[in-house]
Chains A and B, each alone.
Chain A
Amino acid sequence: MLLEVRDLHVEFRTRDGVAKAVNGVDYSVDEGETLAVLGESGSGKSVTAQAVMGILDMPPGRITGGEILFRGQDLLKLKEDERRKVRGAEMAMIFQDALSSLNPVLSVGDQLGEMFVVHRGMSRKDARAKAVELMDRVRIPAAAARVKDYPHQFSGGMRQRIMIAMALALEPALIIADEPTTALDVTVQAQVMDLLAELQREYNMGLILITHDLGVVADVADKIAVMYAGRIVESAPVHDIYKAPAHPYTRGLLDSIPRLDQKGQELYAIKGLPPNLMNIPPGCAFNPRCPMAQDVCRTDVPPLYEVDEDRGSACHFWRECLNG
């Protein structure tokens, strides 16, 4: 297994109290596999990714438990400088907003080339040539002419391609893409996702795709992990989840997608708000918003029940949910 996250706990100590952002997350990705991590804002999907990358701001963040195994080695036990060698070279990250993720005062060529200067000790000139090559590979037209341009001179889609090129530069084994298409318009979203999926196949990388866009997931993911209040509430191969969700939260998410055949009708929304992470409800965290909640949900935290081989649901009533 390329990456295995085991029982990860992350909390943030703030002035107002301790926010439990991640409360026992398990997931894994293999080479060539795409895992989609779904969830609302504040569900802990990005924090988990930052913990994996080792770019969590500590303090206020703190990893209070668990393991992050990369090719069997626990990254949390590495020293910071050893960890830094892993970042960029072995695993890389693509961020949501490419404009703010690129340094406005450096040309894209400088930023792409930096990867080779930092990790490979290349000369500036060689690094520049590599940068052009990478820009070609993510299909930026006239790469050689544009390598000296600054990020604001590119369109949104082009900027995200440059981010992808930066992440791919050293051919890492794992890429974490944190909502890579959220800031883009729909047509460009599709192009960027296609490019990402194609490059992933080409290099046989593991891909963790963090998103709240179920449409994107259906096309590219192999398996899905749905997160709620810092836990995985359902994990399943992608087609199973679309056919029949085994957790009421997943069902709620799928029901809230606007659909063409429901034109004119009111759009379904999950009632209530995501829980306050400083004060997560006892029992199942989703129980105050759950249409199926019973007394047991308010007292007992549901374990991740095995629904099927490689499929799990953290709902006491997953059978009922599965049957609609």
Chain B
Amino acid sequence: MPEQPYEPEGAIAGTGMGGAMDLAASEAVTLEKTPGGPEGTGPQQKPRSLWSDAWRDLRRNPVFIISGLVILFLVVISLWPSLIASGNPLKCDLAKAQEGSQPGHPFGYDGQGCDVYTRTVYGTRISISVGVLATLGVAVLGSVLGGLAGYFGGAWDSVMSRITDIFFAIPVVLGGLVLLSVVTSNTIWPVIGFIVLLGWTQVYRIARGSVITAKQNDYVQAARALGASDSRILLRHIAPNAVAPVIVVATIALGTYIALEATLSYLGVGLKPPTVSWGIDISSASAYIRNAPHMLLWPAGALAITVLAFIMLGDAVRDALDPKLR
């Protein structure tokens, strides 16, 4: 080996061989985000976070606007159904049973002579309540348990994950038939409880997965290196970065829970009369589909529009929160 002078200067000349690419990449990002200049000494726009970026995307997305307006309308009439329906859904006239559309009663009458329009409007309240409450329950239970399992791992994680496997193995409709047929309560709570019981595992898995992903980020290690405690890391550093997939799944699930409630009511194990529910109406109308299809079509149409609106909303939110999926 020839003797060579080991000069620090020579070394410095060669240190940046891999730096050029980084330069290009980092400057491109900076320029795009801060029009103020490469060092961005004073961006005049408001700081943009993931959430404000997502909101900007959503406002321009027609799918979001349409589904959002539909959902807003549904929420309003579920809170104040008398705004658009002056009648009483439980006031029926058997003499008019199965009659079709007529002035003042655009959707006609059902098998008991009740006004289908009024019943369809009032049915919104049950569907939205069941959907929203079940989704809240699922999201809270699933993300708390999933987040803890994902963050701490170990034995707790293994046990919980096996438990979710068991719940995943239960067929929803069969489980509903078995569990709900023994319930006599006339409220919506058994149905909500059942949906939460079978639904939390879905959110659990998503939350666990996204916490595990977020946990591996360098900034979590950096926070730990700077002395942050477990609870602080979990709440302040991991949760905001892991919550987006949970929101997306929950929004889409909300639509399916509304459909599930209708399914269970249709099968006679969900809500029971005199509760006004689309599922019950669809169930009682299905026997007369040949003679009086309007009795089935209006509540079924309302159900389909509601479920579709929530699923479209969920899709739009997912696109906005996770641009990589586009």
Contact = CB atoms under 8 A, between A and B. Distances in A.
Contacts of B10: 257, 259-261
Contacts of A86: 227
Interface residues of A, number: 68
Interface in A156-206: 156, 158, 163, 166-167, 169, 183-186, 188-189
Most buried by A among B15, B40, B236: B15
A158 B6 CA distance: 32
A155 B218 contact: no
Contacts of B218: 95, 97, 100-101
A185 to B, nearest CB: 3
Given A88-B227, A166-B226, A324-B1, A260 B50 contact: no
A188 B15 CA distance: 12
A153 B236 CA distance: 20
A215 B222 contact: no
Contacts of A273: none
Contacts, number: 175
Given A183-B22, A218-B12, A158 B48 contact: no
Contact of A215 (B15, B30, B219, B221): B15
Given A148-B47, A259-B14, A219 B8 contact: yes
A118 B14 CA distance: 42
Contact of A155 (B13, B26, B223, B227): B26
A184 B26 CA distance: 9
B174 to A, nearest CB: 38
B20 A185 contact: yes
Interface in B216-260: 217-219, 221-229, 232, 236-237, 240-241
Interface in A123-173: 141-142, 145-146, 148-150, 152-156, 158, 163, 166-167, 169
B16 A146 contact: no
Interface in A222-271: 242-245, 251, 254-255, 257-261
A150 B47 contact: yes
A29 interface: no
A103 B223 contact: yes
Nearest to B32: A152
Contacts of B182: none
B219 A85 contact: no
A106 interface: yes
Contact of A107 (B6, B30, B34, B47): B47
Given A102-B219, A141-B41, A150-B48, A257 B11 contact: yes
Interface in B4-29: 4, 6-8, 10-17, 19-20, 22-23, 26-27, 29
B237 to A, nearest CB: 5
A152 B221 contact: no
Interface residues of B, number: 52
Contact of B33 (A105, A106, A153, A188): A153
Contacts of B16: 185-186, 189
Most buried by A among B19, B223, B226: B226
B47 A255 contact: no
Contacts of A188: 23
A152 B33 contact: yes
A47 interface: no
B6 A254 contact: yes
13 contacts: A55-B221, A85-B227, A88-B226, A88-B228, A95-B225, A152-B29, A156-B23, A156-B30, A215-B8, A242-B7, A254-B11, A259-B14, A260-B10
The 10 closest A-B pairs by CB, nearest first: A88-B227, A186-B16, A218-B8, A185-B23, A258-B14, A156-B26, A215-B12, A215-B15, A88-B226, A215-B11
Interface of A: 53, 55, 81, 84-89, 92-93, 95, 97, 100-107, 114-115, 118-119, 141-142, 145-146, 148-150, 152-156, 158, 163, 166-167, 169, 183-186, 188-189, 213-216, 218-219, 242-245, 251, 254-255, 257-261, 291, 324
Given A84-B228, A87-B226, A146-B42, 11 more contacts: A88-B228, A92-B226, A97-B218, A104-B219, A106-B237, A150-B47, A166-B222, A219-B12, A259-B14, A260-B14, A261-B10
